[in-house]
Amino acid sequence: MTIGDDFEITVSKNIRYTGAAHGAEGAGYYSVIEFHRWLQDLADDASSISDDYMDITRDTPSDRSTDNIVTLINSYNIDDEASEHLFDGSIIQAAGDVIYDGILVYANAGMDLQVVQNGAIIATDFWNSIPHGSALKGLNSDVANGISHRFMVKTRSGGTDIDGRRLVGQTRVWGKTYSEFRINGTSRGNNVMALTYADDLNNESLIATIAGYDTIVNQVEGYIGIDVDNNSVNEFYYSRWTKAARSINDFYERMKWVTRQASAETLYGLNGELFRGITHEVDLQNPSGTWDEPFEAVSWGSGATAGTGQMFAINHETAPTKMWIQLLTGVAPSGTVTITGATSAATAQNSGTPTERTLSFPFCGASTGSAIIGSYGLGMVATDLTASDKLFDLTNTLRTPPNFVTFTVGGVESAKDYVLVAPYNAGLQLDQLSLNGALTGAAVTSAVVNEDIPSDTPSTGTIRVLRASGRYTRHPYSAWSGKTFTITEHDFSSDNAENSANVFISYIDKVADGSSVDFTGVYAADRGLFIRVRYGDSLAPIKTFETTGNLGSAGGATTAIRTSDM
């Protein structure tokens, strides 16, 4: 087929594509210079032929600036369908009121491309159609030169640029690397997008498997303090994800799944396929109203200063000084432009130049297979992390977690077996710590010991304290610091705990609430543990199970043996 077979020119100067549809046998695709040459060839004919109303008596249809820039003049025009069959340059028409600009994509063959325009994915991705008889996915590819796609996109309509002619090209295909390339304003001719598209060695799971990992959730959206580096001072992030019982690489794959091509998931009010992460940190002044936390749509400015975004975090709902957004359309807020919340109607002025933040693809950061190198501002539950993981808070400061490790006792029966895990020293170590001052009051809320509390002590848990009666009573603590446990209020007045009385940390001290029980602490050095499991019910008692274990740099585990005592 030739270009003349696939296009027609009507008496009304409409140039329309009449050939086979994308992907069908014989579908036609032609460069803009071929298109111009065809028009000029018809224009010098003595009379019109076939379905092309064009000859020497008609107005000149087109003008060439370069081989990649063609202007349709004298009211000649193409429509969107015709533009989909032209490439390698720009078509300008309607005295410059309508422009189709050329896109040239450098990527590996077979790359599936989405294009974001004016805050939305362009729904008709004709450039990914497979031409009949070709093994390549992208239209008009040139494999020898590393070109995966060549096509045109309408960037101006009705005399107005569509979002300032800004485009974002992205690829989010399961099992492949994610990437994006921004064009901040197309030019006439070919506009380059360069994207990576290769196998992601840390994304090898079946998509259906990762779709089922719904325990991996974002516990808190918006501005949240987390003590990731375990220095007793919170840093701030815009999320608090938990991987639950999954591995850190499962978390990475789940984040890819949530933001994959054609995702139906929602993050911070945006479809997952459009979610990119924080693009700008904005300083605020002169706030008014109450912002709709944790997220809402925001807008600002007019004309050249106009823009829209999605707020992911703000550091105070009524008196904020900072806001973190993903830019959706237009330009980032600048100068003293007023930013307005779409649902709250709260306002604040931008102060100075926003800080543009580097994006990660996928948005969560990179996986090494056994650790996460987090993206800007991404927060996770601190105890889900190990010393190999790296997070960056909203000040863009690297935070390295301590090595949180977990010890598990398995093989127990829920609601039956009582499990005690305590320090080991030739048996159950009762004298791990000692009281600094007697506990004698009626409403005691703290227990101070002589020794520094070990750094691997769980952040919350239980201790056992030797009472004057000789009993070791159980006391839950909600926090500890230095040498002090903050305990649940308790009456020690009738059975005190003497000065220097023994205290030990009971790492697990409860009736099992599942087939296994565990505790998590910060690894400092290997710790020997004493484990005891008992169930003395008269109908189905078991013999006392005792063993020792070790909490090492990778955690530890043991399995109880339930031997009948009937």
3-state secondary structure of 528: strand
Residue 495, both tokens: 């059975």
Q: 524 near 454, Cβ under 8 Å?
A: yes
CB 38 within 8 A of CB 7: yes
Q: How many residues does the chain have?
A: 566
Domain boundaries along the sequence of the chain: 3-194, 207-274+360-402, 280-356, 405-559
CB 349 within 8 A of CB 377: no
What is the distance in angstroms between the CA of the first residue and the CA of the last residue of the chain?
89
Place of tokens 């969107």: 80
Q: Which of 115, 488, 164 is nearest to 307 (CA)?
A: 164
Both tokens assigned to 485: 């446990």
How much is the pLDDT for 113? Answer: 96
Strands (E), 34-73: 62-66, 69-72
307-314 and 296-300 as β-strands: parallel, antiparallel, unpaired?
Answer: antiparallel
Residue whose token pair is 């005891």: 532
Reported as type and span, the H/E element at residue 526 is none
Confidence (pLDDT) at 10: 96
**Distance of CA 113 to CAs 209, 329, 429, 447, Å?**
24, 20, 63, 62
pLDDT for 137: 75
Q: Where are the beta strands (DSSP E) in 289-413?
A: 296-300, 307-314, 322-330, 338-341, 347-350, 355-356, 365-367, 372-376, 390-392, 398-399, 404-410
Owner of token pair 């790492």: 507
pLDDT tens digits for 302-344?
A: 999 999 999 999 999 999 999 999 999 999 999 899 999 999 9
What is the predicted pLDDT for the residue at 545?
A: 98
Instruction: Look up the pTM and report it.
Output: 0.84
Give the Cα separation of 85 and 126 in Å (integer).
Answer: 9
> Which residues, 6+ apart, have CB-to-CB distance to 234 below 8 Å?
225, 226, 227
CA distance 326 to 335: 18
To which H or E segment does residue 250 belong?
Answer: helix 248-258
pLDDT of residue 337: 96
Contact 277, 326 (CB under 8 A): yes
What pLDDT does residue 1 have?
Answer: 77
Mark out the alpha helices in 396-448 (DSSP H runs): none
Contact 485, 446 (CB under 8 A): yes
The predicted pLDDT at position 538 comes to 84
Low-confidence ranges of the chain (pLDDT < 50): none
DSSP codes of every residue in 121-173: E-S--GGG---TT-S--STT-BGGGTEEEEEEEEEEETTEEGGGG-EEEEE--
- Return the structure tokens found at 441: 């009051």
Q: Given this model, what pLDDT does residue 133 score?
A: 57
Kindly tell me the sign of the dihedral angle through the C-alpha atoms of 78, 81, 85, 90: positive
Q: Provide Rg for the chain, Cα atoms.
A: 33
pLDDT number for residue 434: 98
